[in-house]
Amino acid sequence: MTRPTANRARRDAVYNQVVEAVERLLKQGESFTSLGIGRISVEAGVARSAFYKNFADKIQLLTAVTEHATRELFTASEAWIQSPEGLDTNALHATLMEAIGIFREHAAVLTAYREVASYDPEVAEFWTSRIEKLVIAMREKIASGQHAGAIRAALEPRTTAEFAVWGAERAIARHVATTPAATDQQFAHDLALAVGAMLS
């Protein structure tokens, strides 16, 4: 292994250790805003100097932790939107179940993220930009479906896409925050049917 490759591997290892340590601490009930770099470094088992080689500050760290926790959420959502099967509600149900599972598994991270995003525009922009990418993909899917006669022509693609994507995201967040996991299957089923009915 060459030196640059070895250095990159070490930095990646530190990066992952820090991200995983922050989520552990959050799950234990720690507040992100009260977590110090020293506490995080000790939990991750890395030197403070190594921390700063990967993260400029705690804002960059929170974005990294949130991205790591929700990567599969956005990947799965984009895959459903871009699938050639059209409005497959069974596939949407599976995608929604995956999203709900991620929201539940990483609830502590998402709570911390929402808290900081409420007053920090830079943090808020991370989530907004990820959702906006889904909105654009959904808008294109709707327009394509309208052209093929599979989606009602009266729907305005952009507005409908925003309602579907943002509405589903907010509905899932509220469901997870207020409802037990035993209801997830039924909720995903109902939400998939609602989206399908809106677009068909």
pLDDT digits (tens, 9 = 90+) for 69-115: 999 999 999 999 998 876 788 999 999 999 999 999 999 999 999 99
Same domain, 65 and 95: yes
pLDDT at 3: 58
Q: Global pTM?
A: 0.90
Which residues neighbour 91 within 8 Å (Cβ) at sequence distance 6 or greater? Answer: 80, 83, 85
Same domain, 63 and 48: no
Same domain, 102 and 191: yes
pLDDT at 28: 96
Same domain, 97 and 170: yes
Sign for the CA dihedral angle at 192, 194, 198, 200 comes to: positive
Taking a C-beta distance cutoff of 8 angstroms, is the pair 54, 87 a contact? Answer: no
Share of the chain above pLDDT 70, in %: 98
How is residue 141 written in tokens?
């899917």
Same domain, 4 and 65: no
Residue ranges of the chain with per-residue pLDDT less than 50: none
Report how far residue 40's alpha carbon sits from residue 181's, in angstroms, rounded to the nearest whole number: 30
pLDDT at 10: 85
Same domain, 127 and 98: yes
Q: How many domains does the chain have?
A: 2
Same domain, 166 and 179: yes
Structural domain that includes position 77: 58-199
How is residue 2 written in tokens?
């060459």
